[in-house]
Amino acid sequence: MSSGDSPNQEFIDVWNKILVPKFTRFRDVFVRQAQEHSDVALARHPPRAGERVLDVGCGFGETTIQIAQLVGATGAAVGLDPCEAFLETGRADARAAGLSNVSFVNADAQTHTFDQKFDLIFGRFGIMFFAQPVIALRNLRAQLKPGGRALFVVWRTLEENPPFAVAKKTARTHLPAPPDDGAKCGPGPFSMADPETTRAQFTAAGFKDVEIEPIDVRAIVGVTIEEALDIATMLGPAGEIVREAGPLGQEKLPLILRDLAAALEPWKEAGGVIAPQASWCISANA
């Protein structure tokens, strides 16, 4: 299947054409933020020395490199992502770290298959964007050895993630909601927030012993209030509302920034804007 035939092509195009430059600009904040979650998951369910691990939606490859270090020279870590710009960064970082057990593949995890199976499949904040989650999870399970394991981190609800919720609420105060704002299904950052629905998806995909554990952390959303504002109004629920509103979004942006700055102020600390965040740690067996 060519990349243009991917069932996730619409989202892949959005990532490559719109989101990659923004994530690259704010890479340090996003990596520090996401690592608070993935470090908990990897500590609870660590990769084992000598294992072959697939890192789904690896982005810049930080977790791929971390996993490669955990499994050691006798193991291997393969990062999989549909954004080549992210993978170029990952390859450069792996070379700089002197690691020979890391590789990166540019492909859609919903459809791509590997000749060699894996002991563990890991993913941090990536699998929520599958257009067909059960089909995608079934394909990932097929890439595991018998007895292989899966470990994923996904966002809990918007309401359980105050920095995102307050940004959306502030934007909605000044702008109309996008046409599909009320949608409860379909790909998106919070599409796996309901644990029972997510458990049913994993079970339907053939996984066994599905465990869904909460992760609660305090993580950075910007080094400064100004950076946190830039991130919130370019990405996430608030960014989508501003973008979808077109010229009206730009007209109202100063008011949104003013109100959101006041809302973020209580989370300002010496190390940055640090706010509560909530995710799920999903573990399962093939």
Q: What is the pLDDT of residue 1?
A: 37
Q: What is the pLDDT of residue 185?
A: 57
Q: What is the pLDDT of residue 3?
A: 43
Q: What is the pLDDT of residue 16?
A: 72
Q: What is the pLDDT of residue 23?
A: 86
- pTM as predicted: 0.91
Domains of the chain: 3-158+182-217+278-285 (3.40.50.150)
* Cβ within 8 Å of residue 103, ≥6 positions away: 76, 77, 78, 79
* Cβ within 8 Å of residue 202, ≥6 positions away: 137, 150, 210, 282, 284
Q: What is the pLDDT of residue 151?
A: 98
* Cβ within 8 Å of residue 69, ≥6 positions away: 97, 99
- Please list the pLDDT of the chain residue by residue as tens digits (286 residues): 334 567 777 767 777 777 778 888 999 999 999 999 999 999 999 999 999 999 999 999 999 999 999 999 999 999 999 999 999 999 999 999 999 999 999 999 999 999 999 999 999 999 999 989 999 999 999 999 999 999 999 999 999 999 999 999 999 999 987 766 655 557 889 999 999 999 999 999 999 999 999 999 999 999 999 999 999 998 888 988 999 999 999 999 999 999 999 999 999 999 999 999 999 999 999 9
**DSSP of 264-275:** HGGGEETTEEEE
Look-up of token digits 């919903």: 110
Q: What is the pLDDT of residue 8?
A: 76
Report the C-alpha gap between 133 and 191 in whole angstroms: 10
Q: What is the pLDDT of residue 2?
A: 38
Report the C-alpha gap between 42 and 156 in whole angstroms: 18
Q: What is the pLDDT of residue 11?
A: 67
Report the C-alpha gap between 128 and 95 in whole angstroms: 30
